[in-house]
Amino acid sequence: MKSKKQIPLIITAISLIIGFMLAVQFKSYNAHAKTDSKDISQIRQDLQKEMERHRRILTDISKYDQLLYEYENPLNHSDSLKVMKEELSRIKALGGLAEMEGSGLVITIQNAPVEEEDGGYLSTIFDDDLRYVVNELFGAGAHGISINGNRVTPTTAIRNVGDEIQMDTKIIRLPYEIKVIGDPNVLESAMKLRGFEEYFAIVNKKIIMKKLDKIVIPAYDGKGMIRYMKPVKEGS
């Protein structure tokens, strides 16, 4: 009799264990499905970005083919010099050695309003954060960038020095105003696709993006360049 009374208890215990296992399996399946969905979304974003980069590369190839043709087949000597001067001006602008003007995007990174219950906590932006933004903007087709009025060149160093961030030898502080010349729609999309707004919100920073038809970014002022070093002579 005693064993017969224990049978319902055993069945109940087994049912509970099976139900628990099914619940755990269902939860794991849902988590896996969400991860797969997130991975697919990220792949689509990366694919869109690569397709845009591929389009820009094809455009550049076509442009340089045309430039090469003009070099090799000038109508006359003056036309050849004109093409060379125009290309020199373009290269100087892209290299940061000349002022640049055009349509683009102005990105402002500033402290976000902090609620009282947050205790006034504001996190720090590091050099890696600014370099990440700059690299993504150039990857999205930016022709020129300045941060707080300082031109970004191929040799610009953005680094932490103590508690400050320096561009070459100049200290830059919040708010950061990043002026970018390029296709404003593509640049804005790149910022949103990479989740910069959410990223900086984590450290209590706010990003404001504004498209403009006319942006002027200055030429590199040359300060901080190496001026007094000389190459060591062989054998010395």
Class of domain 95-217: alpha beta
Stronger pLDDT, 215 or 45, i.e. the higher one: 215
Domains of the chain by residue range: 95-217
Phi/psi class of residue 91: alpha, beta or left (left: φ > 0; alpha: ψ in -120 to 50)?
A: alpha
**109 vs 106: CA distance, rounded Å:** 10
The whole-model pTM stands at: 0.63
Using the predicted structure, report yes or no on whether residue 121 has a pLDDT greater than 60.
no
Q: Label residue 143 exposed, middle or buried (CB < 10 Å: 0-12, 13-18, 19+).
A: middle
The pLDDT, as a whole number, for residue 2 is 45
Residue 128 structure tokens:
């890696």
Using the predicted structure, report yes or no on whether residue 212 has a pLDDT greater than 60.
yes
**34 vs 26: CA distance, rounded Å:** 12
Task: Report yes or no: 98 and 217 within 8 Å, Cβ to Cβ.
Answer: no
Question: Which pLDDT band holds residue 1 (cuts at 50, 70, 90)?
Answer: very low
Least confident of 103-112, 156-165, 189-198, 221-230: 221-230
Using the predicted structure, report yes or no on whether residue 148 has a pLDDT greater than 90.
yes
